[in-house]
Amino acid sequence: MLINNDTIVKDNDPLMRTKSEPVKLPLSVEDKNILMDMYNYVKDSIDPELSEERNLRAAVGISAIQIGIPKRMTVIRLTDIDKNDNEILYEFCLVNPKIISSSLQKAYLQSGEGCLSVIEEHEGYVVRSARVTVEAYDALQDKHIRIRARGFLAIVLQHELDHFEGTLFYDHINKDEPFKEIENALII
């Protein structure tokens, strides 16, 4: 399946506001192929040469609804720093992920969030939980997993899982005070 900036479903399409359906396990060949195409998009999107050549926008995640498929599948691939200041690569092809717990402490990206499906800029803090625990089937590892995430990874997980509910990042921005400071929030 060809995935590029021209084929990504944009936020003005009503499909982006629909709820995604659970995926049957074991995965069908078709669903495995969709996940691998999504994975390759995210991986290749950070390569300047490939992204220019293939018309890709840089991404750390993509959900199936963004390619017109209303299924609970998402791919996340990002590099972050762990508590010991070591670089760590997180990569998942998640099926039917769900947040089973989240922290009371809030977090947000100081620079705001972006999305492959959103072309216009939406300024403001997107306030989310600082830590989440997610359970899912991971097609890369071919098993059910539990992810305990904090900081940037937690924010990306929440962003992608929001797509399953038809929610976009800018829905979380305080319309009256988009840059309102949040007490005790983790600012990333």
pLDDT in tens, 52-92: 999 999 999 999 999 999 999 999 999 998 888 899 999 99
Q: Which fold, 14-187?
A: Peptide Deformylase (3.90.45)
CB–CB of 185/127 below 8 Å?
Answer: yes
According to the model, what pLDDT value does residue 19 have? 98
Distance of CA 18 to the CA centre of its chain: 16
Confidence (pTM): 0.96
| Terminal Cα distance for the chain, rounded | 34
Give percent of the chain with pLDDT exceeding 70. 100
- 160 as an active site residue: the answer is yes
Write the pLDDT tens digit of every residue in 19-56. 999 999 999 999 999 999 999 999 999 999 999 999 99
Report the run of H or E that residue 146 belongs to, with start and end: strand 143-150
Strands 143-150 and 131-138: antiparallel
Averaged pLDDT for residues 112-133: 97
**Residue of 160, 177, 181, 183 marked catalytic:** 160
42 φ, ψ to 5°? Answer: -60, -45
pLDDT at residue 7 greater than cutoff 90: yes
Sequence spans of domains, the chain: 14-187
